[in-house]
Amino acid sequence: MVSGRTRARALALLADLLDYPRPGLAAAARACRDLVARESPDAAASLASFADVVAATPPGRLEELYSGVFDLDASCYPYVGHHLLGESYRRSRFMVGLAERYRAHGFEAAGELPDHLVVVLRFLAAHPGSELAEELVAEALLPALAKMTREGGAHGHPYARVLEAVRAVLSAFWPDAAVRTELAAVGG
């Protein structure tokens, strides 16, 4: 079982990898790979592959790749509520509820919508042992990531590796949540 500190650091690094590209991205991917390798060898392999691509890609091109996947391809929008509820009143209610629950834990979304994948990962990094963390993983993150990796235009794209790694890491860190998600997916 991974320690709470290691879990928090790995989640923070995953959030960094899915944020807009910045210098040090390849190093962050390698650091995350090292943290999750024992719990999720598949995630570690995906992160190693991503680090290699990032190291070989000029920064401007990496920014274009990022925007192409997360800004221009609706199947990969980085908003959890979008994948679960579409652009609806229910998503608005979901975001309001999420923001309220964040505040109750002393966490703020910091200039981004509360259902942004990076924000949710940063919340998990700050509060990995909370009941809300497991609930978010089981009922929101894993189902949204399943859609993004199954339906997304990111297939064959470097960021697809990060999305797959996040899904694998969350399943490894919260195995009970992963089982709940799978049972819900098959109607059980």
- What is the Cα–Cα distance from 162 to 128, expressed in whole angstroms? 20
Range(s) of the domain holding residue 55: 4-185
84-132 pLDDT, tens digit each: 999 999 999 999 999 999 999 999 988 899 999 999 999 999 999 899 9
Token reading at 96: 């309001």
162-177 pLDDT, tens digit each: 999 999 999 999 998 8
Rounded to the nearest angstrom, the gap between the alpha carbon of residue 46 and the centroid of all alpha carbons in its chain is: 14
- Per-residue pLDDT band at 185 (split at 50, 70, 90): low
pLDDT value for 74: 84
Write out the E strands in 16-130. Answer: none
- What is the Cα–Cα distance from 86 to 67, expressed in whole angstroms? 20
Q: Which residues contact 124 (CB under 8 A, 6 or more apart)?
A: 11, 133, 136, 137
The CATH number of the domain where 74 resides is what? 1.10.3480
Q: Torsion over CA of 149, 155, 157 and 162, rounded to 10 degrees?
A: 20
For the chain, the straight-line distance linking the first and the last C-alpha, in angstroms and rounded, comes to 27
Q: How far is CA 94 from CA 38, 64, 67, 104, 165, in A?
A: 34, 30, 25, 15, 25
Helix 4-18 vs helix 117-126: crossing angle, to nearest 10: 160
10-32 pLDDT, tens digit each: 999 999 999 999 999 999 999 99
Using only the alpha carbons of the chain, give its radius of gyration: 15
* Percent of the chain at pLDDT exceeding 90: 81
- The number of folded domains in the chain is 1
Q: Torsion over CA of 23, 24, 26 and 32, rounded to 10 degrees?
A: -140
Query: Mean pLDDT throughout 59-83?
Result: 93
Query: Mean pLDDT throughout 6-10?
Result: 96
